[in-house]
Chains A and B, each alone.
Chain A
Amino acid sequence: MKVNMKAPYTKSYRVEVGSAEGRSVFGLSGDFSISNLSAFTSEIDARIRAIRPAFLTMDFSAIRYLDSAAALAFLTIKKREAQNGVDCAFVHLSNEAERIFSVIPEAALAQPPLKPQTERHNVLIQIGQSSVHIARDLMAFITFIGELIAAAVYTIRHPASLRWKDVLFYMHRAGVDGLPIVALIGLLTGLIIAFMSFLQLKQIGANIYVPALVSFAMVKELGPLMTAILVAGRSGSAYAAEIGTMVVNEEVDALMTMGFNPIRFLAMPKVLATILVVPILTIYSDFFGILGGLIIGVTSLDLTVTTYVTQSVKTIKVFDVVTSLIKASVFAALIAAIGCQKGFQVRAGAQDVGKFTTSAVVTAIFMIVLTDSIFAIMFYYIK
């Protein structure tokens, strides 16, 4: 039985080989475009290889459709054959075909890429350059902190100049919206510490110290630290992306030409809202951490709720709570300031926004851990 094999596609062009006046003639007909480019170029190449003409004429008279990619392909074949000593000519070009050939910028094809302003250097120079960049970044950050302090002083003297509506908005964003995740992470942290210390302490029968350990660790270190890291990820990044996008959209330029100070207008509300909200989040985190410990204490340690709570509360001193809140405020200021400053560093384009948003989070977490260690030493000596 004969199967009617349909061709996968109908060939839309033909190359007929003939000869006239001592030249080989390729009669081209049909459509030549980017969609059948590889097919017709390989066919023409094969024909040329087969007959090795010294004089070749390509007859365009029957071409129905030609696009710039196909025209470029013909031109490339012509140039290549010229190098092989073949005299190749195009004849009977229609007006449209002439026009298409005329827009192919031959000079541009030969143009090597211009050297961009930023040159690639060897490793030593690159190291030097990145050191300069780091120093410049640091300078920029210190300058920004200075401007922020000036803006804060101005705000204290002219409280009406602050956009309180924005402050409330960002308090809601950073604080209220952040509560569930801060509570959850706090709870899990408390659970983990309680569980880990219980595994160790039960060997020496010191279960009773688990509540103290959990509350001590939560209030002094983990509460502020975990909260700050979460806020850096949630809000620090959002500040950088938001301000960065505004820079790209010329919104910051527009504010400046309207006479607004962008730091006062955009950064101040965010910084203030974050400073107000992070200590509260920290208390939340402490509370849920202790709650997590309590769950382990009551279910696996045979402690009553009352014993657990009294043991927890006994360990925490007012000094610890106060220092923890001071720490939280400083972390908050750092997160917001870094987020905003990275946003203002954006120059152009979506890529920059992404880059500086990432950098805002990484820098903020680094600074948080660094300040935390400084605080640890400081509070040790103050006590």
Chain B
Amino acid sequence: MDTDIITVENLTARFGTNIVFEEVSFNVRKGEILVIVGESGCGKSTLLKMMIGLNRPVAGQIRFQGADIFSSGEQILGAYRKSIGVLFQSSALLGSMTLRENIELPLGEYTDLSPEEIDRIIKMKLGMVNLAGYDHHYPSELSGGMKKRAGIARAMALDPQVLFFDELSAGLDPVTAVELDDLILKTNSALGTSMVIVTHELESIYKIAHRVLMLDKQARGIIAEGHPRELKERSTDPRVTNFFRRQKPEASF
């Protein structure tokens, strides 16, 4: 099991009396791109919020390097947070800071690098996401796609082992979305970073996913797991095939 980086076991999420999912178990393997799909409201964001240590589950465990991130004390949670990077749907760059300062945040907090080294790293990260030269821009001066890329640069600042993305290409035009996919593939293959991605874009899923998990609202859990093409061709579950075989223009209006 040394290829698993995160192990999720019997996870349950509940808001009041509304059980979102129950007893969900899966793992994230080293270096894989894991895509989580499912209809709106099935709990993808909720699951992601737990996996990045923001929301405590009602029951179950999320283990990183053998220890449950929620019940093993602040130290483990802190170490876990240093090993992951998160790209939020709205990018969540701090609006009062320039891109440079945003990327500098984790670097300044967790490393004792000299200012020159930090400066070099920031320039490299900005270059990796095609934003070279935007050091002193504020997030409000960027387009949605640029903000996403800047968010990735910040998420990658500490060279995390796992990157999480909620609604990867939501609100982006197709060209920008394709650029983002390429960036993800490049980062994954060059740095070996594992990725956990929530997205609805079929094209993007076929292009980047090594493995797909499908959540379902009625089933309150995972109903399918596998490579997207395999799921498309082999699955006999209509809920799965409907998703993977849906026509390109999603509806006629």
Residues of A within 8 A of B (CB): 99, 103, 117, 245-246, 249-251, 253-260
Contact = CB atoms under 8 A, between A and B. Distances in A.
Nearest to A259: B81
B2 interface: no
Given A99-B252, A117-B16, A259-B81, A254 B92 contact: yes
A257 B54 contact: yes
B52 interface: yes
Contacts of A256: 53-54, 81
A249 B105 contact: no
B90 A249 contact: yes
Contacts of A258: 81, 105-106, 109
B84 A103 contact: no
Contacts of B84: 257
Contacts of A254: 86, 88, 92-94
Contacts of B16: 117
Interface in B49-94: 49, 52-54, 78, 81-82, 84, 86, 88-90, 92-94
B interface, over-half SS: loop
B82 A257 contact: no
Contacts of B54: 253, 256-257
Interface of B: 16, 49, 52-54, 78, 81-82, 84, 86, 88-90, 92-95, 105-106, 109-110, 252-253
A260 B102 CA distance: 13
Given A249-B90, A250-B89, A251-B94, A257 B252 contact: no
B109 A253 contact: no
10 A-B pairs with least C-beta separation: A254-B92, A250-B92, A259-B81, A250-B88, A257-B86, A257-B52, A251-B92, A258-B106, A250-B90, A249-B90
A100 B162 CA distance: 47
Given A259-B109, A260-B109, A253 B92 contact: yes
Contacts of A253: 49, 54, 86, 88, 92
Nearest to B96: A242
A246 B95 CA distance: 8
Given A259-B109, A259-B110, A103 B92 contact: no
Nearest to B251: A103
A249 B81 contact: no
B144 to A, nearest CB: 13
A308 B253 CA distance: 82
Contacts of B53: 256-257
Contact of A259 (B49, B106, B253): B106
Contacts of B105: 258, 260
Contacts of A250: 88-90, 92
Nearest to A255: B94
A262 to B, nearest CB: 11
27 contacts: A99-B252, A99-B253, A103-B252, A103-B253, A246-B95, A249-B90, A249-B95, A250-B88, A250-B90, A251-B92, A251-B93, A251-B95, A253-B86, A253-B92, A254-B86, A256-B53, A256-B54, A256-B81, A257-B81, A257-B84, A257-B86, A258-B81, A258-B106, A259-B106, A259-B109, A260-B105, A260-B109
A190 B202 CA distance: 71
Contacts of A245: 95
Contacts of B95: 245-246, 249, 251
Nearest to A103: B253
A253 B91 CA distance: 11
Nearest to A260: B109
Nearest to A252: B92
Nearest to B157: A258
A167 to B, nearest CB: 14
Contacts of A249: 90, 92, 95
Nearest to B49: A253
A142 to B, nearest CB: 21
B17 to A, nearest CB: 9
Given A250-B88, A250-B92, 14 more contacts: A99-B252, A245-B95, A246-B94, A249-B95, A253-B49, A253-B54, A254-B88, A254-B93, A256-B54, A257-B54, A258-B109, A259-B82, A259-B109, A260-B105
A356 B169 CA distance: 32
B54 to A, nearest CB: 6
Contacts of A246: 94-95
